[in-house]
């Protein structure tokens, strides 16, 4: 059971995840946006690439597919609903399907919202969740193709996984997300602690991922919209919410974060 998971930074803030079976000298890669980054890691560790997994069709997640497939013959597995937007897929999968790498089994979880066919991969044997651009630490993906209620449904599904699940998200957005989280959830002591830890990690140039799902449940505002304490905090911190429908609050919060990101830094 000698598996290791490497975080390969790519572009400005992407992470490509390389899972290797050290004994067999085989690897699988999740969302290889940049083929050179993956090739270098494989060479350095003397690994052969056996499998490519894609969470969604955006180019920063699939840009290395073709080159790596050509060089290593590794099959590409991606979402059925985005099959027409990802070239060269060997197998299309959807919610409930299983993927295998070495003696590991990964469950495919449908997580639409960021894109219409977005999927995540959960490997119980690694306690690892590869969730692409659905769940980020202290945030979540933008709603490019899905509705707020779809994304909320996707996040609640992921939230149902065990607390000790390690969240491997597609981007290093944690510190940036923290600025918004801090404003809407001022009195959350767990969040304060996480922000302090994140600041320290970033100062040392280290990744803030993976993070446990248990920690995210306590600190990520987008996973807390159905929590009465958080709803009170929203009202108190200048974010009036109408009613208590979690999907509606989620939608308002996501829209608030979009405005916040575009430079106002106010609610």
Tell the residue number behind the tokens 């990101």, with chain if given. Answer: 261
- 118 is an active site residue: no
**What residue number has its CB nearest to Zn ion?**
58
- Binding footprint of Fe ion, residue count (CB under 5 A): 3
> Per rule CB under 5 A, is residue 34 in the interface with Fe ion?
no
- 61 is an active site residue: yes
Nearer to Zn ion, 115 or 153 (CB): 115
> Per rule CB under 5 A, is residue 118 in the interface with Zn ion?
no
Binding residue for Zn ion, selected from 21, 34, 82, 133, defined by CB under 5 A? 133
User: Which of 31, 34, 114, 215 is labelled catalytic?
Assistant: 114
- 179 is an active site residue: no
Closest-CA residue to 187 (of 250, 237, 244): 237
Q: What is the DSSP letter of 171?
A: B
Region 112-141 residues binding Fe ion, contact defined as CB under 5 A: 133
Nearer to Fe ion, 10 or 183 (CB): 10
Nearer to Zn ion, 133 or 172 (CB): 133
Q: Which does 216 bind (CB under 5 to 8 A by kind): Zn ion, Fe ion, none?
A: none
Considering all CA atoms of the chain, what is the largest pairwise distance in Å, rounded to the nearest integer? 56
Nearer to Zn ion, 133 or 185 (CB): 133
Give me the residues paired with residue 8 across strands.
16
Closest-CA residue to 184 (of 115, 234, 254, 250): 234
Cα distances (angstroms) measured from residue 226 to each of 51, 221, 229, 243, 244: 38, 10, 9, 11, 7
Q: Which two tokens stand for residue 101?
A: 């790498």
> Per rule CB under 5 A, is residue 58 in the interface with Zn ion?
yes
Say if CB 146 and CB 132 are below 8 A apart. Answer: no
Binding residues vs Zn ion (CB under 5 A): 58, 133
List the catalytic residues. Answer: 56, 58, 60-61, 114, 133, 171
């Amino acid at each position: 059971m000698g598996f290791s998971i490497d975080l390969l930074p790519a572009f400005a803030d992407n992470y490509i995840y390389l899972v290797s079976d050290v004994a067999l000298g085989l690897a699988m890669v999740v969302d290889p946006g940049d083929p050179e980054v993956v090739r270098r890691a494989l060479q350095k560790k003397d690994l052969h690439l056996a499998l490519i997994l894609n969470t969604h069709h955006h180019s920063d997640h699939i840009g290395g597919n073709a080159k790596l497939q050509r060089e290593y013959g590794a099959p590409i597995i991606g979402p059925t609903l985005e099959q027409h937007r990802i070239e060269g897929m060997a197998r299309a999968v959807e919610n409930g399907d299983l993927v295998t790498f070495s003696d590991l089994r990964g469950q495919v979880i449908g997580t639409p919202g960021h894109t219409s066919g977005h999927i995540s991969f959960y490997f119980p044997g690694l306690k690892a969740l590869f969730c692409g651009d659905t769940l980020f630490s202290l945030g979540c993906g933008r709603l490019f193709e899905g509705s707020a209620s779809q994304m909320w449904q996707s996040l609640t599904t992921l939230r149902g996984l065990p607390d000790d699940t390690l969240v491997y998200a597609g981007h290093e957005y944690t510190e940036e997300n923290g600025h918004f989280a801090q404003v809407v959830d001022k009195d959350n002591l767990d969040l304060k602690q996480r922000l302090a830890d994140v600041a320290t990690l970033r100062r040392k140039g280290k990744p803030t991922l993976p993070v446990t799902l248990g920690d995210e449940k306590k600190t990520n505002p987008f996973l807390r919209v159905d929590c009465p304490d958080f709803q009170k905090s929203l009202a108190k911190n200048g974010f009036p919410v109408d009613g208590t429908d979690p999907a509606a609050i989620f939608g308002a919060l996501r829209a608030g974060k979009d405005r916040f990101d575009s430079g106002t830094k106010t609610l």
